[in-house]
Amino acid sequence: MPGSSHIVVAGAGSIGCFVGGLMAAGGHRVTLLGRARILDDIRAQGLHLTDFAGLDVRLPADRLALTEDPAGLTGADVVLVTVKTPATPDMARLIADHAPPVAVVVSLQNGVENADLLRAALPGRDVRAGMVPFNVVPAGPGRWHRASSGDIVIGAGQGGLAGLLSVNGLPVSESPEIAAIQWGKLLMNLNNALNALSGLPLRAQLMDRDWRRLMADQMAEALAVLAAAGIPAKPATPIPLWLTPRLLCLPTFLFARIAARALTIDAEARSSMAHDLMQRRPTEIDSLQGRIIALGARHGVPTPICRAVAGLVRRAESGGPACLGVGEIRAAISGDEGGKAD
């Protein structure tokens, strides 16, 4: 695989524009395949990428190929899939129709099922799972801001793909344990829903002990489900997953000191699910809490917290309240008449 390759971002949203933009800045030929509402801003403004650590990259529109036409997949060396989970089957069909069979397909999506969906639709192709630990938020027309820390990990394979994709500001590594790493990310991403329901920035939510205790209870519930299912999970941070619920329950001054060593978050960062609810878009709740609920049902492990949280998010998707307090969510979990989630 050549040092400078044609990389197509299939579904250019927050993650896709940020990752694709940095790869274009790093010398790759990049095509952003996406919707006009996003690409038109880049055509008019160029692409501006910033982050919590002071990154500031500006790319004129002509440094990128911008298209709404799936024929843009033609000639790709690497396809980075960044659509939301419900759109994965449709994107897989477009890749099958337009991308070369030798193109490596990498899922940079939330959840744990997307690589399997892609493999089923793309038999015989090199399809890799991936894990993106950081959060990217829109910061104005054509501008995207990385609001938290962490490096991308993809599944191990031939061809030195991680080295090819690694560019300044965007290290990529490979791991044979990518499935466990994805499950570890899913456990952390369960807080996406709580953050969306809280109406708070992530840092403010994390600095509130009542919210952290709710996060801890939800994570402990999910860990019990994974244990019953025999599914290993590996953290993206140095903190072991089994220890995380205990750390979340510490007094705030102790938690803040420990968390500062493992994760950096901008003061105004919010979860992607929070942005989805604010913009009246469907969320990925079925790929997060929904996966834990389904596994729990299969293995006989109750999941009242995930069920209540999922119900409240679905209610918010339909126009219900999205700024709830911990007490209201606790009431939904316990089944109080005024706060049932299902």
Write down the pLDDT at residue 265.
Answer: 82
User: How far apart (Å, rounded) are the C-alpha atoms in residues 324 and 105?
Assistant: 39
What average pLDDT values come out for the chain (342 residues) when binned by 10 residues?
A: 80 96 97 96 97 95 97 97 95 98 97 96 97 92 93 95 96 97 96 96 94 98 98 88 94 88 77 90 94 98 97 92 91 66 39
Write down the pLDDT at residue 262.
Answer: 62
- Residue matched to tokens 């919590």: 52
Write down the pLDDT at residue 145.
Answer: 95
User: How far apart (Å, rounded) are the C-alpha atoms in residues 113 and 104?
Assistant: 18
Write down the pLDDT at residue 261.
Answer: 67
Write down the pLDDT at residue 280.
Answer: 87
* DSSP secondary structure letter of residue 99: S
Amino acid at the residue 263: L
* DSSP secondary structure letter of residue 19: H
Domain positions in the chain: 6-176, 182-334
Q: Looking at the domain 6-176, which fold is it?
A: Rossmann fold (3.40.50)
Q: Which two tokens stand for residue 98?
A: 């337009």
Q: Is the fold of 6-176 the same as that of 182-334?
A: no
Q: Which of 155, 166, 127 is nearest to 3 (CA)?
A: 166
Please give the CATH architecture assigned to the domain spanning 182-334: Orthogonal Bundle (1.10)
Q: Which two tokens stand for residue 261?
A: 């060593």
Helix (H) or strand (E) holding 162: helix 161-165
